Amino acid sequence: MLNDPSAQVVIVGNPCQINGLKKVMALTKEFQEFYKDRDTDYPHWPKRVFSVAVFCMGNFSPKTIPTYVENNIGLPLEKVTKMNISSEGFRAYTDKKISLRKIPELSKYLRGSCKQCTDFIGDFADISVGSIGSDSGWSTVILRTKQAKDLFKKLVTQDFIEVSKNIHSEDLNNTIDLKKNIIAKNSIKLAQEKGFSLPFVDLEHDDDLEKFIQKGHKKDFMDLEKEILQPGFCVACGACALVCPCYNIEILEDNRPYCIRECLDNCGCCYIACPRTHSFKKILLKDQEEPEIFAAKAKNPSPYSQDGGIITALIAYNLENNIFSKAIVAIADSRWRVYSFITNDSSFLKTTAGSKYASIPQLYGLKFGR
């Protein structure tokens, strides 16, 4: 079904992961042309992917948040029903208790790759959603493409969501400034003083895509290992494994990619696709429309949903109306171990609602959502 040009997958991810997605989608033709004479199965991913980004100040390794909740807060993981990070702090919920911790206490556990990232609101996504900038119980929603605006309008018309223009712009802009001009800039300066190369920062104003592709095909996974993985800049998006034409990259339980055999000569697809080797922000954002910003909340949100429950409502409506063929979301087990999950069952989405705050290879799910 997903080979049908009209079929579409929706994927929910962190801003950095959506950067990787947009890069892969923009270069699909390049990958296809490069391997048209080889015995490969391209593209591995659907032709149409709708992206939803979650506002993100930073993310954590898979075991960090569960360990913190159990050891530092003292809550048994099996009893935790929901977790939430907002401007007020980090909350862990059980049926009987809500525990609050201030952000600075948790921020020291952030993944290293998050500290240099300047993208808080998911600049590359069709729709971005988060709590900053709206009242409690509401979500701030940013619509950047025509399809995003049309889908959002349908949700309002069908009475799935309620909207308001009561956006606290100062709160949103202050958070963006904090992320982009204070936290990230200081981390970038510190990393550069230590001698680290930051390709996605250093090359931000270099828009020579063809030159980058030519250079990338001379690279292999070991270059990705040396330049991105070992310095700690990997965002665990799964783009490298998604585009590998010979299934040479596996992502294990630590959500880190590993090369399992020798790369093909002059391949470098993994290097080209990685959002941290070059973001190509100017090129990838050129077709976006002027963004529209609303506060919104679902009429009947899941109890597990974050804030206004907008992401669950959006995906459920579009699965039920066959606009989306499948959804790639995150799911956690009773020990809050997080996995990428593919579904076309809108009723199941309510159990997957809510942020998990762990980096997982969402893009790799596209290979299996084909």
- Which residues neighbour 98 within 8 Å (Cβ) at sequence distance 6 or greater? 91, 92
Angstrom distance (rounded) from CA 297 to CA 87: 18
Task: For residue 340, give every residue at least 6 positions away whose Cβ sits within 8 Å of its Cβ, in sequence order, or none.
Answer: 238, 328, 329, 330, 331, 360, 361, 362, 364, 365
155 near 314, Cβ under 8 Å? yes
Quote the pLDDT of residue 315.
94
Per-residue DSSP letters for 1-62?
Answer: -TTSTT--EEEEE-HHHHHHHHHHHHTHHHHHHHTTTSS-----S-S-EEEEEE--S--B-T
Pick from 216, 247, 238, 245: nearest CA to 42: 245
Question: What pLDDT was estimated at residue 4?
Answer: 58
Looking at residue 269, its pLDDT comes to: 94
Give me the helices (H) in the chain, please: 15-26, 28-34, 64-67, 103-107, 146-157, 169-177, 184-193, 199-202, 209-216, 221-224, 239-243, 269-273, 281-284, 310-320, 349-352, 365-368
pLDDT on residue 331: 87
Per-residue confidence (pLDDT) for residue 370, from 0 to 100: 55
| DSSP for residue 181 | I
Name the 3-class secondary structure at 151. helix
Measure the N-to-C terminal CA separation of the chain; round to a whole number of Å: 8
The closest of 359, 116, 113 to 233, measured between CA atoms, is: 113
- The pair phi, psi for residue 133, each rounded to 5°, is 100, -5
> How large is the C-alpha radius of gyration of the chain?
20
Task: Give CA–CA dist 301/237, Å, rounded.
Answer: 28
- Predicted local distance difference test score (pLDDT) of residue 1: 42
pLDDT means per 10 residues in the chain (370 residues)?
A: 67 95 93 77 83 92 87 91 82 88 82 90 96 92 97 94 94 93 91 88 87 94 94 93 90 88 90 95 91 94 82 93 93 84 87 82 82
Nearest alpha-carbon partner for 128 in 349, 291, 238: 291
Reduced to 3 states, what is the DSSP secondary structure of residue 121? coil
Would you list the domain boundaries of the chain? 9-28+41-202+290-368
Backbone angles phi, psi at 195, to 5 degrees: 95, 10
